[in-house]
Amino acid sequence: MTENELIALLRSAATDPAARGLDDDVAVLALGETHLVLTHDMIVEGVHYLPTDPPADVAWKLLAANLSDLAAKGAEPVGALLGYMLGEDGWDRAFAEGLTTALAAFGLSLLGGDTVAASAGMPRTLGLTAIGRSRRTPPSRAGARVGDLLWVTGSIGDAGAGLAVLRGELEGESALIERYRNPRPRLEAGQRLAGFVTAMMDVSDGLLIDASRMAKTSGCAVAIELQSVPLSQAYLHARGDAREARLDACTAGDDYELLFAASADSARRILALAEEIGLPCSRIGAFGDGSGVTITDRSEPVALPQKLGFEHRA
Amino acid sequence: MTENELIALLRSAATDPAARGLDDDVAVLALGETHLVLTHDMIVEGVHYLPTDPPADVAWKLLAANLSDLAAKGAEPVGALLGYMLGEDGWDRAFAEGLTTALAAFGLSLLGGDTVAASAGMPRTLGLTAIGRSRRTPPSRAGARVGDLLWVTGSIGDAGAGLAVLRGELEGESALIERYRNPRPRLEAGQRLAGFVTAMMDVSDGLLIDASRMAKTSGCAVAIELQSVPLSQAYLHARGDAREARLDACTAGDDYELLFAASADSARRILALAEEIGLPCSRIGAFGDGSGVTITDRSEPVALPQKLGFEHRA
C-alpha cells in the first residue's frame, strides 16, 4: 500500500480542522493567539540513512527533517518528543550526544518520548515529533492560485549527489555529503516568508513530486522551468549542467529547502528578503489552470521523468 | 543500553520545564489557561504485540497505550499523530479501519503523521503521539509525600494472563485476552482524580516497577500490601490466589490502570468517586521515609521478585 492509499483510508478519522484534511505535512492547533504546529517524521536504517552514517549525523537529520516541516509553516521550534530504538551502547551514546548538539543548535528542548528494544539484526526505526509555534496562521500547501509564481530556497540536488558519493557512484566534494547528512532547515526564511506566501512546504521527497503535490492540493497546474532550478557549484562540478543532471537534481529528494508560491507582485519583496538573510530564493515556475506538472528547458518542453521523486510505499 | 541510561544522557537537552526533567510519561506545555499534554509511545511486533494479533487490535492498543498516559494526567484527548510502517495491503487496511474505530470510540481526531516502508521480514515498528488538554496543572509522578496512600484503579494482571493464554501457557477466559488486546484507558477516572491526587501515572510496565518509579521520583519509599492488590474473577479463576499468582500479576505489565498517591484524608472521596463512575479504586499501600519498594502479604514481609516489571533494554 502507498502512503496516499493509507491516507485515503484514514481521512474520515481526521475530523478536527487542525488535521488540515491530512493534506499538509503538519497539524495546526489554534490555541488562543498561538498556533501550535505539530509534525512527526520517521527514519529507517538503510532507507533514510546509511548504516555507516555517523550516529550523531542520524540524530541531526532526524531532527532537521522535522524542523524543516516547521520551517515551511513559519513556526518557531519549541520542543521534540523522541521515539528511539535502543541498540548498541556506543551507537546509542553517540546518537544522544548528537541529538543534544542538534537540539541546542536549533534552540529547542527535548520534551519526552519513548524507547523500545531492537530485535537482533533489525534495521533501526526512529521517530521524532516536533512542536513549533506561530503567532500567525501557518501557510498550507493548498493555497497556490493560478498566476502565482513558484519559488525555491537554496540549491536542489546536493543531498542526492552526496548520497551517490557515499555509495561510490559519483565523485564529488564533501559539501555534497554534508548536505545529505546535515541538512539545514530554513527556519528563518520560513518565518520571514510565512506572512505573504500563498502556499509553502519543504522539499523532502524531490522537487518535482513535491511541486506536483502543491499544485494538486491547490487545484492548479504547475509549469517548472528546468534552467531556473538552482544548482550549487559543488553539484555542477560533480554532475555538470546537462538536462539529465538537472532532472536528477529535481527528483533526488532530501533537499530540505522551502518550496513556495507567491503572487507575482511579491517578487521584489522575496528577492530583497533573500538578500537580507543571505539565502537565495529562485523563481522556478508558475501556476496555471488545469492540473499536473509540466517541465520546460529554455522554453523547450521536456518529458516528465518516470519517477518524480521518492514515494512512500510498502 | 537501558532506557534510564539513555534518559540520563539526554537530560541536559531537556531544558524546557514542559519536559518535567524527563521524569514523567508526558510533556506539559502551558499555553495561557490551557495545559497541553503530549506523549509518544512506540510498539514493535513481537515485543509489544503478537504477530498473530488482529491488526485492528494492534491499532486499538497503540492508541489506548498513549491515551492511558493522558488519562494519568487528567487530560482530555484532542488528537494523534501516527508514525506508520507500511506493509501488506490487507494488514494495512485492517489497521486503518481499527484505528478509525478506536479514534471515534475515544472521541479524538487523527491529526497527521508519517509513513515509512518496511524492509522484507522486518518486524513492524509503529509510533503514535497523542495530544491532550487540561484546564488544571496535570499531576506529575513526583508528588507523592510521606504518609500518602497508594491506590490503583480496576484490576491488575489480567493483560499478562491474557498474553499467557494466547501463548498457550495458561487456560483462561477470553476476558483476559480482551484486556491484553483492547485495554481501556481510564480517561474519566483520570480527569476526576487529577484535582486532588498528589501523584499519578499509568501502570504499563508492571505495578511493582511503576510504583517503585513513583516512589523514587517522589523521594519516598513505598510499601505495598500484596493481599490488597485487586485481582479480577477471571484472573483468580485462571491463576488462583497463591502468593506467586499475586506477585506475577504485579510484575506482568500492560495493565493500563491508574496508579496514584493521595493523602489519607482523601480516601472517602476516592471511594465515593469510584462508586460513582463504576470503576473500583483499591488502596494497596503507603508511602514512607526512605527509598525503594517493600512488599508484605497479610503483614508478612515478602522478598521482592527478581524482576519488578518490564524494563526497556537493548
* pTM reported for the whole predicted model: 0.94
B144 assigned to some structural domain? no
Residue B312's pLDDT is what?
A: 63
CB-based contact A72:A201 (threshold 8 Å)? yes
Number of structural domains (chain B) is: 2
CB-based contact A144:A261 (threshold 8 Å)? yes
Task: Domain of residue A71: give its range.
Answer: 3-134
Query: Mean pLDDT over all residues of chain A?
Result: 95
B210 to chain A nearest CA, in Å? 15
Could you tell me if B37 and B178 lie in one domain?
no
Could you tell me if A81 and A183 lie in one domain?
no
Could you tell me if A289 and A171 lie in one domain?
yes
Q: Which three cell numbers stand for residue B206?
A: 508492571
Q: Which three cell numbers stand for residue B62?
A: 497503540
Question: Within an 8 Å CB–CB cutoff, is residue B59 touching chain A?
Answer: no
A179 assigned to some structural domain? yes
Query: Which chain A residues have a beta carbon less than 8 Å from that of B81?
Result: 27, 38-40, 129
A314 assigned to some structural domain? no
Angstrom distances, CA of residue B124 to CA of A119, A127, B121, B266: 11, 13, 9, 44
A-B C-beta contacts closer than 8 Å: 253
Could you tell me if B249 and B185 lie in one domain?
yes
Residue B313's pLDDT is what?
A: 56
Last-in-domain residue among B107, B134, B161: B134
Could you tell me if A233 and A167 lie in one domain?
yes
Cα separation, B256 vs B253, in Å, equals 8
A310 assigned to some structural domain? no
Could you tell me if A213 and A278 lie in one domain?
yes
Question: Within an 8 Å CB–CB cutoff, is residue B41 touching chain A?
Answer: yes
Q: Which of residues 82-121 of B touch A (CB under 8 A)?
A: 82-89, 92-93, 96-97, 99-100, 103-104, 108-119
Q: Is A129 in Cβ contact with B129 (below 8 Å)?
A: yes
Question: Within an 8 Å CB–CB cutoff, is residue A30 touching chain B?
Answer: no
**B226-263 b/e (C-beta count within 10 Å ≥ 16 → b):** bebbbbbebbeebbeeeeebbbbbbbbbbbbbbbbbbe
Q: What is the mean pLDDT of each run of 10 residues along chain A (314 residues)?
A: 93 95 93 93 92 96 97 98 95 98 97 89 93 96 97 98 96 96 97 97 96 97 98 98 96 96 97 98 98 97 92 60
Cα separation, B202 vs B210, in Å, equals 8
Regions of chain B where pLDDT drops below 50: 314
Query: Mean pLDDT over all residues of chain B?
Result: 95
Residue A49's pLDDT is what?
A: 92
A164 assigned to some structural domain? yes
Cα separation, A180 vs A177, in Å, equals 5
Could you tell me if A124 and A162 lie in one domain?
no
Cα separation, B284 vs B259, in Å, equals 10
Question: Within an 8 Å CB–CB cutoff, is residue A27 touching chain B?
Answer: yes
Could you tell me if B193 and B91 lie in one domain?
no
B142 assigned to some structural domain? no
Question: Within an 8 Å CB–CB cutoff, is residue A13 touching chain B?
Answer: yes
Last-in-domain residue among A107, A134, A161: A134
A86 assigned to some structural domain? yes
Could you tell me if A174 and A212 lie in one domain?
yes
- Looking at the partner chain, which of A18, A83, A117 has a beta carbon nearest the beta carbon of B127? A83
Could you tell me if B157 and B130 lie in one domain?
no
A30 to chain B nearest CA, in Å? 11
Q: Which three cell numbers stand for residue B142?
A: 513526583
Cα separation, B201 vs A258, in Å, equals 41
The sheet that has B199-203: what strands, in order across it? Answer: B199-203, B257-262, B149-153, B281-288, B221-225, B292-297, B300-302
Residue B284's pLDDT is what?
A: 98
Cα separation, B127 vs B116, in Å, equals 11
CB-based contact A255:A209 (threshold 8 Å)? no
Q: Is A125 in Cβ contact with B129 (below 8 Å)?
A: no
Cα separation, B257 vs B153, in Å, equals 6
CATH code of A75's domain:
3.30.1330.10
Could you tell me if B115 and B260 lie in one domain?
no
Could you tell me if A45 and A72 lie in one domain?
yes
A309 assigned to some structural domain? no
CATH code of A233's domain:
3.90.650.10
Last-in-domain residue among B134, B163, B182: B134
